Chains A and B, each alone.
Chain A
Amino acid sequence: MPDFSTPAIMLRSIDHGDYDLIIKFLTLKQGKVTVIAKYAKKSKKRFSGILELFSVLELVYKTGRGKGLYLLKEASLKEPFMKIRGDIKKTAYASYWTEIINQWLEEGTRQESIYYLFRHVLQALDSGRIPEEALSILFQIRFMKISGFSPNLSLCSTCGIEIDSMEGNSILFDLAKGGIVCKGCASYPSGRLYLSRGTIKQLEWVGSGDIKKAERIRFTSPAIKESLVFLEAFVPYHLGREPRSLSFLRKIR
């Protein structure tokens, strides 16, 4: 049985019996994987203080017997993100992003872009160089783009006319169609949100090009609010369920 070695970010940990943990990781080389860490709950040498949520680790695991789970052999801590775990708001945002990844990705499908995006936003969240809300906008819009569910913010999703030809400052967004719709094509009132032209432009900026340049964009307070309302409706709509962390986040925000 060959050993796999890869950098990984810890997504979830579930107790398994008295001593073991079943852990989900987003790995660089194999995408989302589930491993069993034997005796991890009692470990004083191998896994002590290492297997914590959001941490970036270097893993060594191998194919285990039965249940199809990999068996975790070694883990070394690369980035513990101590400032995230010491702050409830940062923890809530990181949990929300983690849940999106955990729910969306298939096991064993390599997702390098998502790995790097997630690691980047966790690093930025830990450093505190960008407000949590702006980072959440950046993560969600880019995650949806990488996943092939980028919101259509330039053309009417029904008739195809360009946004510049649409009337008014507020543009209607149809969650089911995944894009903006012009007034002529708007029909049913449910599952719709309004976005201002300024916010749409900022969202397009943040969602494209170099991530470090995108980070520099400064959202106004109403634009942040509008973007979060939009993305926190759009992402769960396409995810098929609302992440638990999102309701937690709304309570403490």
Chain B
Amino acid sequence: MNIEYIFLFVSRRIYLFFYLLRKHFFRMLFSSVGLLVSLVFIFSILGILRPVKKFIVDQFEKNIAPDTLVVRQIQDNHKTASLISLLRTKKDITLGITSEKVEMIRKWSEVKKISQTQILQKPAMGQFDHPVLSKMGIAFDLLIQGVSSDLVSQNLKCMKDFKPSVDVKQDGNRMEVVPLILPESFAEMAYAYTMMNGLPAVSKSNMIGLRLKLNIGQSVISGITGSSNEVIGVVCGFAPQNIVSILGVPLKWVRGIHLNGRQYKAANSYDKIFIQLKNIKDMETISNRLALNGLTVISGSNNSYIKVTKWLNNLDILLWTFVFILLFISAISLSNSFMILTTQKKYEFGLYLVFGASPMFLWMLIFFEGAFWGAFHSSLAYWIAENFYQVLQSSLRVIPYINEMNKTDMVFDFNITLAEKWYLISGSILFSGISSLIPAVLMTGKKTLSLIKKD
């Protein structure tokens, strides 16, 4: 084989292809579209759905890891009522989970780590520390919750660590600055409020850095209740409701206030604990053991996580099944198209055989044609999938909710590695080559004489 003949052969086949495309337009079109759609699906599953799936799983794992139980005391109505009164008065109540219980649980061999939250049993009043908003004199009562830093540190957007620092103000006074983590529902409520009242939209991102003046020990409802401690709170991020249910601050800081105020019961009891297990299989055993200790597992996250991952896996199976069906149909239609191409030139191939071409030689020729077909379609499919993703991404951005509320979270890229891309392209080349080889093998299985005989 020399270059001249290869060129002649290729140009001849291209000519023949367009001739047949005109003659058998719909058959060729269906095989082409079938293959293209299958490949677009494969690229989309890998490039788009996989990152979305990873995003969902990450969100779950970022909030509460699937191996973690969220535990609180079995509901006590009297104590709940007492907690509400914290808005007005200083209390010293032992909340459901005492330090002793925490230490006891920590010693269980199945337990890897325990994190806690503690409600501040003192009233607190908040005011905006803002050049304009502060002039309005708006003040509101707050409930404050101390949260272990390991539960929320990944949600921090503005301070380096989840612990108080000291800020020197212009007048020279030193102010304690406390990072605040808000429940995500707060951001949604603020957004809804501004939308309903025709105010400029408030998003998560523009709430970050918002400063509040916190007067610990004061209450709007009941006035000054005792000595007050003024600190600055800076909104540094958002966390899911089942981690932070009110205004989240560093746990050590809350405990410090309790201890300074001689609220020992408050300092040594927790409203919620997060038990991370060494093995996820021990969940049921630990849940039962906690129940015996008067504690209840409230974490729905694990169930949701399992449900969502199960659903995503089922979706995966469904989509891959669909892809395989499409590929099977494409293989048939591809073979069909090549059957036409081959049958059309059966006489020509017969002559090749007469002059000594081996069947293997003809197989190779047709295989390369099929491979070219696969290379063309896979490249086109990749291009379509990538651009489809871009269109999808820009469409999502016009939805205000996603744009404003979840901008930081919803950014994920069309995620196919270079190796995967080339594996897929080579795979489709091989797939098309083999599909096209079937009619070639069938043809060369016939006697040469029957090929060269003109009908």
A, B: real partners: no
